[in-house]
Amino acid sequence: MTSEQWAGIGLKAGVAAVFFFLLQNYVLKAPIEMSLMWSVCMGVAAAALAWSQAKRGV
């Protein structure tokens, strides 16, 4: 895998993590611990999905 693919994977994971943190913390008014937990989980899920797509060449 190229560095561009790794950068794309990191970008997608970061955007998903930030999005879910903002959603949980500000929209749903969840505690900070839950917001961080969900943002990490969804960031990892987004990275896994982006990695599998990059591996397939999508």
Please write down the HEC assignment for all residues of the chain: CCHHHHHHHHHHHHHHHHHHHHHHHHHCCCCHHHHHHHHHHHHHHHHHHHHHHHHHCC
pLDDT at 1: 82
Q: What is the pLDDT of residue 57?
A: 80
Domain ranges of the chain: 3-56
pLDDT tens per residue, the chain (58 residues)?
Answer: 899 999 999 999 999 999 999 999 999 999 999 999 999 999 999 999 999 999 998 7
- Supply the pTM of this predicted model: 0.89
